[in-house]
Chains A and B, each alone.
Chain A
Amino acid sequence: MVDSAEGDINKTKDLISVVVRFHDPEKLPQLDEALFSLSCQTYSKIQVILVVQRNTQMDESFLNALKLLIAKQPFEDPAIHKAAYVDIPNGMDGRSELLNQGIKLADGQYLAFLDYDDVVYNQSYELLIDRIRDSKFPVAVGGCILATQERITDDANREHPTNNYDGNPGHLYTVSKRPYLEPGSAKTKLDLIAANFIPIHTFVLDRTQIDPTLLKFNTSLKCYEDYEVLLKLASKYEFDFKLLDTPLVEYRIRNDGSNTIPTHEASPQVRQQWEESKRYIENLKTNMMIQVNAKDLSDLVKSHDRLAAERKTLTFQIAAIWYSLTEAWTPIKKLKRLGFSGIAFTAKKLRSIRIFFFRCVRYND
């Protein structure tokens, strides 16, 4: 377990601060929905930290308009929220810096993140905070619904009835929804090392249990900034995944290209930046230590067949794993049979061993 003394204890007890990042004045209706979803939470001790990437169109009156937008939501305590501009130096990606500045402004014991174009369901924070309290883990992760939206315009030459209230033609029409992860797909921290399956708005952190130096997003990354923080947290703390099958948030993907996700249509320069971020993450994984449960490693071995069936190459870059001796022995033998190489272990205590993966291990089907 974690030494709670290292956490950031000077925070308002039971309050959850939700950092919302925003950058485009044309997307106010989407921000409005995100804020409305926060105000409708059943967990009422909630603080919005709206961090806005300043651009030349934005002046003090725009910031006041954003504060007014927050004031129009039915929060129990309308005076607790904060909105601030963040100036992003040229060449720096604003996404991480916005989060870092938001964390600095946050007063709550609990911390969550929400992008302006996503929403949370009514009981999200109540349930996730309950999980943190029950499990004593500093991180609780919930389930996510992936919603696909189309902006409806009159491109089809059909009569268009109206503009949306934001003045833009058409509105965002939800075409489909499905779970972000297959229901029943039990995930562990080891799955997180293989690939990120935790969208940024699906988890809540208890800052009193977490080393504050780990809660810093890397401003040199063009993407995967949240993945990096999750990996750093995973290397040190336990995660609660009990609510992974319970839809708590909605991740909205739009067909107008306004999501910030790697796509094939991106420019070569942007793709190169993403590749660099990806390499950084892979390197981080190679050199990190992570503490996992014996059962999780065992489950990972069992899942080999499924991964092979998908004809995917899985690259493990786990440098070391703490492990229980009695439960570890069988999985270690299985791992060897599956082609893992470079495994060595050293007895530290009678019931625990340390497994070293000296180099990247690849296996194919």
Chain B
Amino acid sequence: MKIGVGVVTFNNSQEDLRKFARAFSIAAREVTPAVSLFFVDNGNPSHLSDLFQKSPDGNLEVQALPSQGNVGYTRAINRLMKAAFDENKLDGFITANPDGAFHHAAYLNFIKRHTEFPQAVLEARQFPEEHSKVYDPVKLDTSWCSGCCIFIPRKIYEKVGPFDENFFMYMEDVDFSWRVRSQGFQIKLCPDVLYCHFVFGRPINETAIKQQYVSGRYLAWKWGHRRFFRWAQKTLLRKKGFTQQSLPALTEKKPHFSRRERMVTYFKRAFFFSETRW
């Protein structure tokens, strides 16, 4: 099984990228054939390829796509996914945030779990601070998967399509998960696939918070949840400096989801989109 990893960088520290590259190389040694890395810089040049060239390990291929500037995470990751599936004919694609590190058995266990659950998008367990959303501890089903590190099989990509590029960043993973589930596939959280995500102590970024509300508003509009839409829009207008004119336009043709399809959504706990364990 040939898999690829997609990384979108945005002004990440060289220290983070070096750690990512080291962990990537170690995990790649555990599987054959080679794991391909596809990356694109949305910010300043990351020189990620150079970090891998210094690695003595040969079991990986690195492909850099030319930067198009800060076009948003979703467009960038879709370009990488297209390169992996359409141009390189890979069997599976892993999204990975560059401020993180793969556990050495991550690829190996992703492949094992895919063999076990071929009809599922697989989510890594974030480490050491695990996401608090609930999952079935026996069947491993969960309501949505965080794009921080997920495995998408070719079959599901071909059926469901890429991420919705109307999301600049944030919540494109929630929307993707719901589309996956509404088409009869599953989302599984893999407790034995660890992805270390360096989120602790990250300063509160007001721009990022604003973007969360923008994405949340669009998500609610798309899936027809009026209350959540009103809440997100009201917050943007009252607390985040938006006016009616400056709110992002919702001009795209609204997709139609049947009542059965919309049953996969969950809008009750703000941006958690799930019951939580703590």
Contacts and interface: CB of A to CB of B under 8 A. Distances in A.
Contact of B139 (A39, A72, A74, A159): A159
A202 to B, nearest CB: 14
A64 interface: no
Contacts of A175: 277
A36 B109 contact: no
Interface in A320-345: none
Contacts, number: 89
B56 to A, nearest CB: 12
Interface in A147-165: 150, 152, 154, 156, 158-162, 164-165
A182 B113 CA distance: 39
B109 A165 contact: yes
Contacts of B117: 161
B105 A165 contact: yes
Contact of B200 (A74, A123, A170, A178): A123
Contacts of A129: none
A194 B108 CA distance: 49
Interface in B136-156: 137-140
B127 A37 contact: yes
A173 B137 contact: yes
Q: Which of A44, A122, A176 has the most CB of B within 10 A?
A: A122
A178 B277 CA distance: 11
A122 B201 CA distance: 9
A11 interface: no
A27 interface: no
A159 B278 contact: no
Contacts of A172: 191
B191 A173 contact: yes
Contacts of A150: 137
B128 A119 contact: yes
Given A73-B104, A74-B23, A159-B139, A40 B200 contact: no
Interface in A261-304: none
B220 to A, nearest CB: 29
Contact of A72 (B26, B109, B116, B199): B26
Closest 10 CB pairs of A and B: A74-B23, A72-B104, A74-B22, A173-B137, A152-B137, A40-B196, A177-B278, A119-B128, A171-B191, A165-B192
Given A72-B104, A119-B128, A161 B138 contact: yes
B130 interface: yes
Interface of B: 15, 18-19, 22-23, 26, 101, 103-105, 109, 112-113, 116-117, 127-130, 132, 137-140, 191-192, 194, 196, 198-201, 277-278
A127 interface: yes
Nearest to B129: A121
Nearest to B104: A72
Contacts of B130: 174
25 contacts: A36-B103, A36-B194, A40-B128, A42-B15, A44-B15, A74-B22, A74-B26, A121-B128, A121-B200, A122-B128, A122-B196, A122-B199, A122-B200, A156-B138, A158-B139, A159-B139, A164-B191, A164-B192, A165-B105, A173-B191, A174-B277, A176-B277, A176-B278, A177-B132, A177-B278
Nearest to A151: B137
Interface of A: 29, 32-33, 36-37, 39-40, 42, 44, 72-74, 76, 119-123, 127, 150, 152, 154, 156, 158-162, 164-165, 170-178, 250
Nearest to B138: A158
B116 A161 contact: yes
B201 A123 contact: yes
A130 to B, nearest CB: 11
A121 B199 CA distance: 10
Nearest to B103: A36
Contacts of B22: 74, 76
Contacts of A33: 127-128, 194
A250 B132 CA distance: 14
A40 B278 contact: no
Contact of A74 (B19, B112, B137): B19
Given A33-B194, A178-B278, 11 more contacts: A37-B196, A42-B198, A74-B22, A76-B19, A122-B201, A159-B138, A161-B117, A162-B116, A171-B191, A176-B277, A176-B278
A156 B137 CA distance: 12
Nearest to A162: B116
Contacts of B198: 40, 42, 122
Contact of A160 (B103, B138, B191): B138
B136 to A, nearest CB: 9
Q: Which of A74, A176, A250 has the most CB of B within 10 A?
A: A74
B29 to A, nearest CB: 9
Given A36-B196, A171-B191, A120 B201 contact: no
Contacts of B194: 33, 36
B277 A40 contact: no
A253 to B, nearest CB: 14
B101 A74 contact: yes
Contacts of A37: 127-128, 196
A92 B222 CA distance: 66
Contacts of A176: 277-278
Contact of B19 (A40, A159, A162): A40
Q: Which of A29, A40, A127, A250 has the most CB of B within 10 A?
A: A40
Contacts of B105: 165
A312 B16 CA distance: 48
A73 B128 CA distance: 14
Contacts of A74: 19, 22-23, 26, 101
